[in-house]
Amino acid sequence: MLDIIKNRRKFSFQFGELDVLEERKRYRIKESRQFLIGGKGLTLALGIYRKSSKSYKLKIVHVLPGVPSEIDRMPSNWVISRTGEGCTIEWPEETFSKSSIKLFEISKYDTLGNYELNIYIDHELSTNIFFTVGA
């Protein structure tokens, strides 16, 4: 869990692979910075936890080492930009007033390598999370 204090407000981030607890039908995030992609792909999750009800603006930018051939659950308002060999995927800024889990699914094998996740809170870069996806 990564804690950030911003404007006297505490944000807690949990990042890792999304796991489903079938018996309870609940989601759990298994924290990690290294992932192995399997036959069905990989679902990465970012949990943002807030105890206050005061709203905040959140923007997420993924920096990928390559250009994936397929990304699942990608809303039409995401922006993909090529950057040399790789690309960036930018989630538009959204306003939240409570905790949230954001998902990013990779379903093909062509996106192995080092990744970066940039998290912006209230228009400012708050943290970078670096992780690796391997075969």
The identity of residue 31, as a single letter, is E
CATH architecture of 2-134: Sandwich (2.60)
The predicted pLDDT at position 7 comes to 67
Domain range annotation of the chain: 2-134
Cα-atom radius of gyration of the chain, to the nearest Å? 15
| Side-chain half-sphere exposure of 68, counting CA atoms within 13 A | 23
CA distance 6 to 8: 5
* Mean pLDDT on 40-56: 77
Tokens matching residue 59: 């923007």
> Is the predicted pLDDT of residue 25 greater than 70, yes or no?
no
pTM: 0.75
* Mean pLDDT on 107-132: 82
The predicted pLDDT at position 103 comes to 79
Q: What share of the chain is helix, strand, coil (3-state, %, to 5)?
A: 0, 65, 35
CA distance 81 to 59: 16
Q: What are the E-state strand segments in 7-112?
A: 9-21, 26-31, 34-36, 42-49, 56-64, 71-72, 79-83, 86-96, 100-106
Give the model confidence (pLDDT) of 69-106 as tens digits.
Answer: 666 666 777 788 888 778 888 888 888 877 888 877 77
The predicted pLDDT at position 78 comes to 79
